[in-house]
Structures are given as structure tokens and as C-alpha cells.
Amino acid sequence: MEGQDEQTTGARAADGSHADIYGEDGAILSSFLAAIGAAIADRDTLTLKREVDDLHQSELGDLLEALHPEQRRALVELLGADFDFSALTEVDEAIRRDIVDSLPNAQIAQGVQDLDSDDAVYILEDLEKEDQDEILSQLPFTERIRLRRSLDYPEETAGRRMQTEFVAVPPFWTIGQTIDYMREDNNLPDRFSQIFVIDPSFKLLGAIDLDQILRTKRSIKVEEVMHETRHAIPATMDQEEAAREFEQYDLLSAAVVDENDRLVGVLTIDDVVDVIQQEAEEDLLRMGGVGDEELSDSILSTSRSRVPWLLVNLLTAFLAASVIGLFDRTIEHIVALAVLMPIVAGMGGNAGSQTMTVTVRALATKDLDIYNAGRIIRREMGVGSINGIIFAILIGLVAAAWFRDPNLGGIIAAAMIINMFVAALAGILIPLLLDRFKIDPAVASAVFVTTVTDVVGFFAFLGLATWWFGVR
Amino acid sequence: MEGQDEQTTGARAADGSHADIYGEDGAILSSFLAAIGAAIADRDTLTLKREVDDLHQSELGDLLEALHPEQRRALVELLGADFDFSALTEVDEAIRRDIVDSLPNAQIAQGVQDLDSDDAVYILEDLEKEDQDEILSQLPFTERIRLRRSLDYPEETAGRRMQTEFVAVPPFWTIGQTIDYMREDNNLPDRFSQIFVIDPSFKLLGAIDLDQILRTKRSIKVEEVMHETRHAIPATMDQEEAAREFEQYDLLSAAVVDENDRLVGVLTIDDVVDVIQQEAEEDLLRMGGVGDEELSDSILSTSRSRVPWLLVNLLTAFLAASVIGLFDRTIEHIVALAVLMPIVAGMGGNAGSQTMTVTVRALATKDLDIYNAGRIIRREMGVGSINGIIFAILIGLVAAAWFRDPNLGGIIAAAMIINMFVAALAGILIPLLLDRFKIDPAVASAVFVTTVTDVVGFFAFLGLATWWFGVR
């Protein structure tokens, strides 16, 4: 029966060493949360330490996010030196700032010292310059130099994301020597999947994967089995580009080198996974007209970050309205036009969004390039024409029946074909053009595409009606 | 000067073993493409083999995607047994099908035999049942059993994505024995980052990371240093859930176990990265009203896949139109209403989309749960109110000035406040409700949210105007 129980509770149950703090729905169990809350209220440090001791950094992070702000700060304060700072890399930026701001710089200096350099940098990079300097000044010399080097690289580069702890050996060592060195050295990184081969000036010569070391005889020299430094990543490379290298070549880790080809750090797949998630999220949010907001942001900062997008949309909405205004006398005569016109504009907008979504995504993943752009443009024009005809017939018939006017049906059908075709063209050409001019298509495409489909939709429908019914 | 050159051409230049086939923009160099095209036209097998021999599977995949369909099939045919089937895991589904369909089953059987089981399954799973069976029947017994086992697990599960090649040792072996075994065995997987510990019935006991093996003395027993099987993944677990385990616990690989807790395979981070990309892409495409389409799909299949979404939108467009129809007499009297009404509906739609995008993303990443739902709902209501008031004032002033009618300005301002508030509520409550009812919020939210903002926008604006101006 015990085996059965283990099975049904899934992945985490097989693990003896972790507390099972999540419910069926993936949220933290409310019983666990209540216990932690009670211990915080009682300032029961002993219980708290026991409860969070087993937690993985990401589980502690989830716990912090589930607590109220006062509870969070109290928990970190009560845990004192036992608080695992790596949990701060797993929470929203606003929560991280809130906790870090509540701590004295001395405690932060103590806390980041135990972390891998990439995690330490992740926490320090958000701080004010003065706090950063004060904390760095309290660190041992080598630590300070390492963190400073990472922080000196621009944001969102490989240099900023790299870990400065790595294992490097000279090329003339044997595999046996290398293994013995690793058995003896207590300063190895927590986890690593390859070791690097360097010359005395730290210039990168090559790398060996750990599985390669394990299948090689002890007497063989490192330089005989190392592979030359495939995919060494310049420290100034954009993190998104570095992530694409990892994806394309299925890397687990990669050497990061400075402008003189010297090994300065290692980029690992777990950081890259975070970058991939973040970039995918950015594209999705931008297409939805949202900037870099997080769930923990306040009402005012959220409101402020969304206003610019709405403002741009307002301008285009007035543009569309002024197109309608051109035909006010026609609408006065045939009020059915006012009833039907949002259909023409709206359907064009939806068709345009479909094409635009595919285009923006293909541009982001580099699947769309000069070799297939022509073919994809032709395909979208084809799809726009076919769907335009299908929906023209549908809408034309319904409109004719609704207002008992076959002329109206014909006019809306013609307007639909025009707008769906223009929508397809706008949906692909606008992102392509923005990309060519180095503007992020995810940010700006939607507003341009819907402007085009609104303006063309209203103009085609009302214009055709004005001409056909001969108003004015 | 040589060092300088290497630096400027970036990551791939440091790599002696790979051809540099990409240009500055990340697309395949047209000179390389032309050389391949010429060799294909001349049926110059020797040149072709030399040119593609150095390519990584993903580079060969990119090359296949850049070629014309006839060239693609010719290239695979000309390379014969030298064609690396793993490249097929790197191309669009339509291209993979096209190539595989053009090959005799015997050649496919030969080709997949050289692959890791996960890559072989990836290619075989798309085939017709009969072709699958015929190919499997031509494989050696153990290969066949392994692939069959993966294929028997449902699509998009860990069992389908796992690799069945792994290293497993008994708990009583020493680290020294383990290393010696790996040095001797030629049947090791191509790459691995941990080895597993099992009992005679293959029941999973634990795992050891390779770096742990390398820092442990030869005389130590495996069971003393293994960690218990943290994060063993049931073979039937959804691949997306498995990917979240990897992300949360920064795993490089994880054991996959069957319903009796026996080790059946290993899931690796490179497959998980693909899953993460794919899931992020799915959400983005679905929110844009696009299904599982790929760039290589034909016009007709693209058109067909987009029609259902447009059809749903058409129904809601008619719903919105019928709301306008209720107020046709008011519009006849005050044609300015027809000019201004799309602004109210459109701004509500945009504000609703912003909230919805954030909500859908937070649900997908499990950042939104019962602990913060209440707070987020209140935040969105706050943002909706503030932005509603800001834009009500703006639009009210412009409308009043444009039509020289302060009443009209007041009415549109009131309608804006109502619609922006409703948009915020709809933007968060609709995805939450859909999620509660196990409907993917990414697919269905947009249509419901815009329906609400259209209907409420038109009704509030035209209804207020009808009541204020006392028409009818």
C-alpha cells in the first residue's frame, strides 16, 4: 500500500528529502501557509527554521510570494543568517526589492557571499549604486572582483548572467590528474557539467564534458580528448542570442570569454531557461499591449505603465472615427450602415491579428527570413483572399436578410473582401517592415495593423455605400 | 590580427569544427545555399557530402528549411545513408512529413536506428500506424521494444519525450567500479549528466550527478553518495508539468518511472527547452486566434485552421451589431453617436486585452493562484477605474469640442468609465473562470472579453445618449 500512495502523489512524493508543500492544483497548501503564519505571529524561530530548512530555494521563493508583505519581512528577519538568499532569485522583482530594502547592507553582504556569483549579481543588480558599492566593499577581495566584473557588463548580456565559478585545467594534465584534483579541491562550484582547458594566460583552449572524462582512461592527456571551444560566448553577447546558441546546439553550459578570448565565466542552461521564458513572456505581453509589469506591481505603477499604449490606441481610434465622420450624411440616410460597420472593421482586425501573430512569432524565432518571406507573403495573401470570400458570402447573406436589402448585402460583401485582403497584407508587411527598421515588431505591430483594418474597413464599407446609393 | 578576426565574427568563429554557414542576420548565407543548390542540380554527391558533413543537426535542419521542396527531397536522396536523420527533429512538421513520406520505409528504419530513442520517436510518432509498424518490424529486437514502449505512452507525456538510453548501476558498487564500467562500456548514451541507481527489478533507488562522482573517492560505495530520487517523473506526466519540474528545481535530467516505480528512461533538459518554447508559442498563437499552424503549411490548410476563430468572432460581431440596432432611431437623430461609438468599444477592448494578457500569462506560469487572486482582482479594478477616469476626461473633452456639444462629451465620458471598469473585470474574471472550468484561457479569453467590451461599450454609450437626449 505504501508504494501505491507514493505513486498517486506524483513526482514530489518519491522524494524523501523535500517537504510536500504543494496541493493538487500546484498552489502552496493552505495548512502549510497557516502553520508558517502562526509561527511568524508567535515569533517562533525554532519552528520556522525547522519548517523552511528542507525547502528548495524555489519552494522558499513560492512561500515568500504567498505570504503578506509584513509576514515576508518578518520571516526573513526571524530566519536571520539561516535565510537562504538564493530564494530571492525566484520571486518577482517588486517582492525582491521590498525584502532587500528592509535588510541592512551588512546582512545582504553576508547573504550573497554564500551564493553562486550569478545569483549574487541577480540580487545586486537591482540595487542603488551606493548600496551596491557598500555591500561589495564588505565582501572578500576575490568575491568582490568577480561580482564587480559581472556587474560591469551591460544588462541582459551573457557577462551579466554568467557564473564566475568554474573548473579549468591545463592541457598537459592527464584525465587521472584532473579527477584527483577534483576529488581534493573543496572550492569546486556546486554543480558543473563540463570543465575547461586554458593556457597560463587564461586563454580558452577547449572543454571536456564530464561524461567524456568518465569514459576516458586515466593516462590519456586532457588535450587529446578535449573538444575545441565550440560555442564560446563573448561576454558582451545579448542574453537572447546566447539562449539561441544553447537551443540550437543543445548545450548544457558554455564558456564565456572576454574580448581577449580569456575565460571569464560559464553560462549554464538553468539561467538560459529563465531567459527563454522571460523573452517568450515579453513577446506575449508586448503583443497584448503590456510592458514589463509584474503581478506584484502596485495599482498606480500598473496604471501608469499601461496608459501609453491606450493613448496610442486612442489616437488611432480618433483617426478611425474621423473616417466615419466623412460619411455622416450617408449614415443619417441609411442607419443600417452604422449597425453593420463594426463587423467589417472587427473581422478585418481579427484576420489581421492572426497573420500578425504568426509573423511576429516567426520573426522572434528566426524562422522567417529572406528565403521564405516571399513565399509566406504570397501564402498570407492567398489565405486572406479565401477567407475574405468565405466571410463576404456569409456576412452578405445575413446582412441582406436582416435589413431586407440585397444591395446592402452586396456592399458589405465587397467591403469584407477588400478589408480581409488588406488585413492579410498589413498583418505580414507591418511586422516585417518594423523588424527591418529594428523596431520590435511585438510592441508596435498590433496598433498599426488594427489602424489599417479599422480605417480601410470603415472607408471601404461607407465609401462603397455612399457611391452605390448615391447619397450627397 | 587573426585573433581579432575570430573575435568579431562571434560565437561560431571560435569553433574550428563547424562550417560558418550563417550571415550577420542569422539567416543561412546565400553563397552557401547557392553552392548546395548547384551541387544538387549536378547530382554531385561528393561535394554535397563534404559540405554537409560538418554541419550540426540543427544546421542541416536550417538548410533543409531554406531549400525548395524538390531540392530537399533530392538532397536527402543523394546523401543516402550519410543523411543524418536527427536533422528531421529540427524542421517544421510539414517539412518532416514531406521528406519522410518520400523515403522508403527501409531507409527510415536504417536512419532512425542511429538516433537516440527520443529523436527516433519524434520522427516515428507522426507516421501512419502501418508505416510505423513496418519500420519498427525492421529494427533489432531491443530497439523495437524501446521505441514501442515510448510510442505506447500518450502524446505530450514524459514517456513520449524520454530517452530510453541511460546508465544505471547497483547500489553496492563503488565509485571506482562505476567509473571503470563507464570506461569499458561502448554502449553508453551519447551524452548524460547523471547515472541512476536501481535494484535488480529496475526499481529506481537514487541518482548521482557526474560532478558528484568526480569529487568522490574510488572506494566509496554508490549508495553512500547517491541522492534519493528527487523529482522522478511518472511516464504519464504531461510534458508541460514535467517542464515545470525542471524549471523549478533547475534539473539537467530526471529519471522517468513507470507505474511500478521502475526506471524506464530519462528526460533531458534539451527536450524540456523545446517543450518550454513550444508551450510559450502555443499560448501566444492561441491568444492571437491561431491554432497549431506552422510556416510551412499550405494556403488551404492555413485558411481552414483560421476559419473557426473568425466564425466565432463573426457571431459576437453580430451580437454587438444587434446592440447597436436597438438604438437605430437615436443614431438617426444624432449621427455623431455613430462616429464616436467605436472609440468607446475599442478602448474598452484594448484595456480588457491588457488585463487578459497579464492574467493568461500568470495562469500559464502558475504565478496566479488562490492566494493572490483576490489581490490581483482588486488591483485590476483599481487600474481599470483610474485609467477609465483618465481616458474619460480626455475623450470627453475632445468629443465635446469636436461636435460642439458638452452633453455628448459628458455622455461619452460616463460610458468610457463604465466600459473600462467592466473591461478590467472581464479581463481578469473570464480567464480565471475558464481556467477553473479546465478550458485553456489562452484560446477562449480574447473572444469573450471583446464581446463583453463591445456589447457593454455600445450599450452604455448609446443607452446613456438615448436616455439623456430623450429620443424615442
Do the Cβ atoms of B258 and B235 come closer than 8 Å?
Answer: yes
On whether any CB of chain B is under 8 Å from the CB of A10, the answer is yes
Q: Which domains does chain A have, with CATH numbers?
A: 21-156 (1.25.60.10), 168-285 (3.10.580.10), 299-469 (1.10.357.20)
Residue A185 or A243, more confident? A243
On whether any CB of chain A is under 8 Å from the CB of B229, the answer is yes
Q: In this model, does residue A451 exceed pLDDT 50? A: yes
pLDDT, averaged across chain B:
87
Q: How far apart are CA B242 and CA B256, in angstroms?
A: 10
Task: Select from A28, A329, A346 the Cβ nearest to the Cβ of B317.
Answer: A346
Task: Select from B193, B204, B273 the Cβ nearest to the Cβ of A247.
Answer: B273
pLDDT in tens, A2-28: 333 333 333 333 333 345 788 877 788
Tell me if B230 and A15 make a contact (CB, 8 A cut-off). yes
Nearest chain A Cα distance for residue B210, angstroms: 6
Measured over the CA atoms of residue B329, residue B332, residue B337 and residue B342, the dihedral's sign is positive
User: Which of B269, B301, B466 has the most A C-beta neighbours within 10 Å, making it the best mutation to test the interface with A?
Assistant: B269
Tell me if A15 and B276 make a contact (CB, 8 A cut-off). no
Residues from chain A contacting residue B356 (CB–CB below 8 Å): 288
pLDDT in tens, A275-331: 888 887 888 888 888 877 777 788 888 888 888 888 988 898 899 998 998 998 898
On whether any CB of chain A is under 8 Å from the CB of B356, the answer is yes
Which chain A residues in 160-189 lie under 8 Å from chain B, judged by CB atoms?
Answer: 179, 182-183, 188
Q: In this model, does residue A250 exceed pLDDT 50? A: yes
Q: Return phi, psi of residue A466, to 5°.
A: -60, -40
Q: How far apart are CA B228 and CA B225, in angstroms?
A: 9
HEC assignment per residue over chain A = CHHHHHHHCCHHHHCCCCCCCECCCCCECHHHHHHHHHHHHCCCHHHHHHHHHCCCHHHHHHHHHHCCHHHHHHHHHHHHHHCCHHHHHHCCHHHHHHHHHHCCHHHHHHHHHCCCHHHHHHHHCCCCHHHHHHHHHCCCHHHHHHHHHHHHCCCCEHHHHCECCCCEECCCCEHHHHHHHHHHCCCCCCCCCEEEEECCCCEEEEEEEHHHHHCCCCCCEHHHHCEECCCCEECCCEHHHHHHHHHHHCCCEEEEECCCCEEEEEEEHHHHHHHHHHHHHHHHHHHCCCCCCCCCCCHHHHHHHHHHHHHHHHHHHHHHHHHHHCCHHHHHHCCHHHHHHHHHHHHHHHHHHHHHHHHHHHHHCCCCCCCCHHHHHHHHHHHHHHHHHHHHHHHHHHHHHHCCCHHHHHHHHHHHHHHHHHHHHHHHHHHHHHHHCCCCHHHHHHHHHHHHHHHHHHHHHHHHHHHHHCCC
Do the Cβ atoms of A332 and A432 come closer than 8 Å?
Answer: no
Which chain B residues in 16-45 lie under 8 Å from chain A, judged by CB atoms?
Answer: 16-18, 25-28, 33
Which chain A residues in 70-109 lie under 8 Å from chain B, judged by CB atoms?
Answer: 92
Rounded average pLDDT over A244-258: 90
Q: How is residue B365 written as a grid cell?
A: 506560469
Which chain A residues in 195-224 lie under 8 Å from chain B, judged by CB atoms?
Answer: 204, 209-211, 213-217
Band (A472; pLDDT cuts 50, 70, 90): low
pLDDT in tens, chain B (472 residues): 333 333 333 333 333 334 578 887 778 888 899 999 999 999 999 999 998 988 899 999 999 988 888 899 999 999 988 999 999 998 888 889 889 988 898 889 999 988 888 999 999 998 888 989 999 999 999 889 989 999 999 998 999 999 999 999 999 999 999 999 988 887 788 888 999 999 999 999 999 999 999 889 999 999 999 988 667 899 999 998 899 889 888 888 999 999 999 999 999 998 888 888 888 788 888 888 887 777 778 888 888 888 888 888 889 889 999 899 899 889 888 889 999 999 999 999 999 999 998 898 888 877 787 778 888 899 999 999 999 999 999 999 999 999 999 999 999 999 999 999 999 999 999 999 998 888 888 888 888 898 999 999 999 999 999 999 886 5
pLDDT, averaged across chain A:
87
> How far is residue A141 CA from its own chain's centroid?
34
- Nearest residue on chain B to A416, alpha-carbon basis: B314
Task: Select from A3, A247, A283 the Cβ nearest to the Cβ of B261.
Answer: A3
The yes/no answer to whether this complex scores an ipTM above 0.85 is: no
Residues from chain A contacting residue B161 (CB–CB below 8 Å): none
Nearest chain A Cα distance for residue B381, angstroms: 9
* Paired sense of beta strands B233-234 and B253-257, if any: parallel
Rounded average pLDDT over A454-463: 94
Which chain B residues in 282-321 lie under 8 Å from chain A, judged by CB atoms?
Answer: 283-285, 287-290, 293, 295, 297-300, 302-303, 306-307, 309-310, 313-314, 317-318, 320-321
Q: What is the pLDDT of residue B292?
A: 77
Task: Select from B233, B295, B386 the Cβ nearest to the Cβ of A367.
Answer: B295
Give the number of other CB atoms < 10 A from CB of residue B283: 23
User: Which of B339, B360, B449, B459 has the most A C-beta neighbours within 10 Å, making it the best mutation to test the interface with A?
Assistant: B339
Q: Return phi, psi of residue B255, to 5°.
A: -70, 140
Nearest chain A Cα distance for residue B7, angstroms: 7
Percentage of residues in chain A having pLDDT higher than 70: 95
Task: Select from A252, A293, A361 the Cβ nearest to the Cβ of B269.
Answer: A252
Residues from chain A contacting residue B65 (CB–CB below 8 Å): 367, 372
Rounded average pLDDT over A366-379: 83
Encode burial over B16-39: b for 16+ CB neighbours within 10 A, e otherwise. eebbebbeeeebbbeebbeebbeb
Nearest chain A Cα distance for residue B249, angstroms: 7
Q: How far apart are CA A341 and CA B310, in angstroms?
A: 16
**Nearest in space to B63 (alpha carbons), one of A299, A84, A302, A371:** A371
> How far is residue B69 CA from its own chain's centroid?
25
Tell me if A228 and B17 make a contact (CB, 8 A cut-off). yes
On whether any CB of chain B is under 8 Å from the CB of A374, the answer is no
Exposed / middle / buried, residue A37 (Cβ in 10 Å: 0-12, 13-18, 19+): middle
Task: Select from B183, B228, B288 the Cβ nearest to the Cβ of A357.
Answer: B288
Residues from chain A contacting residue B395 (CB–CB below 8 Å): 314
Nearest chain A Cα distance for residue B129, angstroms: 30
On whether any CB of chain A is under 8 Å from the CB of B193, the answer is yes
Residues from chain B contacting residue A229 (CB–CB below 8 Å): 14-15
Which chain A residues in 381-410 lie under 8 Å from chain B, judged by CB atoms?
Answer: 382-383, 386-387, 390-391, 394-395, 398
Orientation angle between helical segments B57-66 and B69-79, nearest 10 degrees: 140
Nearest chain A Cα distance for residue B134, angstroms: 31
Q: What is the pLDDT of residue A444?
A: 80
Q: How is residue B258 written as a grid cell?
A: 513507470
HEC assignment per residue over chain B = CHHHHHHHCCHHHHCCCCCCCECCCCCECHHHHHHHHHHHHCCCHHHHHHHHHCCCHHHHHHHHHHCCHHHHHHHHHHHHHHCCHHHHHHCCHHHHHHHHHHCCHHHHHHHHHCCCHHHHHHHHCCCCHHHHHHHHHCCCHHHHHHHHHHHHCCCCEHHHHCECCCCEECCCCEHHHHHHHHHHCCCCCCCCCEEEEECCCCEEEEEEEHHHHHCCCCCCEHHHHCEECCCCEECCCEHHHHHHHHHHHCCCEEEEECCCCEEEEEEEHHHHHHHHHHHHHHHHHHHCCCCCCCCCCCHHHHHHHHHHHHHHHHHHHHHHHHHHHCCHHHHHHCCHHHHHHHHHHHHHHHHHHHHHHHHHHHHHCCCCCCCCHHHHHHHHHHHHHHHHHHHHHHHHHHHHHHCCCHHHHHHHHHHHHHHHHHHHHHHHHHHHHHHHCCCCHHHHHHHHHHHHHHHHHHHHHHHHHHHHHCCC
- Nearest residue on chain B to A300, alpha-carbon basis: B383
Q: What is the pLDDT of residue B237?
A: 94
On whether any CB of chain A is under 8 Å from the CB of B278, the answer is no
Residues from chain A contacting residue B423 (CB–CB below 8 Å): none
Residue with the three cell numbers 534539473: B251
Nearest chain B Cα distance for residue A287, angstroms: 9
**Nearest in space to B85 (alpha carbons), one of B48, B66, B60:** B60
Nearest chain B Cα distance for residue A112, angstroms: 19
Residues from chain A contacting residue B307 (CB–CB below 8 Å): 387, 390
Give me the amino acid identity at B224.
Answer: E
Q: How far apart are CA A183 and CA A434, in angstroms?
A: 55
Task: Select from B11, B232, B270 the Cβ nearest to the Cβ of A11.
Answer: B232
Q: In this model, does residue A80 exceed pLDDT 70? A: yes
Contacts with B95 (C-beta within 8 Å, 6 or more apart), sequence order: B64, B65, B72, B296
Q: What is the pLDDT of residue B222?
A: 94
Q: How is residue A323 written as a grid cell?
A: 473616417
Give me the amino acid identity at B51.
Answer: E
Residues from chain B contacting residue A382 (CB–CB below 8 Å): 299, 303
- Nearest residue on chain A to B249, alpha-carbon basis: A58
Q: How far apart are CA A409 and CA A417, in angstroms?
A: 12
